[in-house]
Amino acid sequence: MMIQFHSVAQFLAMGKYAAYVWPSYGLTLLVVVLNIFWARRLLAHAQRDARRRLVMQEERV
Partner 1 sequence: MTWTWFHRLGSPPYVYRLAGRLTPWFGWSAAVLIVAGLYGGLVLAPPDYQQGDGFRIIYVHVPTAWLSLMVYTYMGIAAAVGLIWRIKVAHAVAAACAPVGASFTAVALATGSLFSKPMWGTWWVWTPRLTSELLLLFLYMGYMGLRASFDDTQRADRASAVLAVVGIVNVPIVHYSVVWWNDLHQASSVTLTGKDTMATSMLVPLLVSMLGFTLYFGALLLVRLRGEILRRERAAAWIREALA
Contact call for residue 12 and partner 1 (CB under 8 A): no
5 contacts 11 by C-beta, under 8 angstroms: yes
Q: Is 36 in the site for partner 1 (CB under 8 A)?
A: yes
Residue 24 CA: distances (Å) to CA of 10, 14, 15, 33, 49: 18, 12, 15, 14, 37
| 57 binds partner 1, rule: CB under 8 A | yes
Residues that bind partner 1 (CB under 8 A): 1-5, 11, 14-17, 20-21, 23-25, 27-28, 31-32, 34-36, 38-40, 42-43, 45-47, 49-51, 53-54, 57
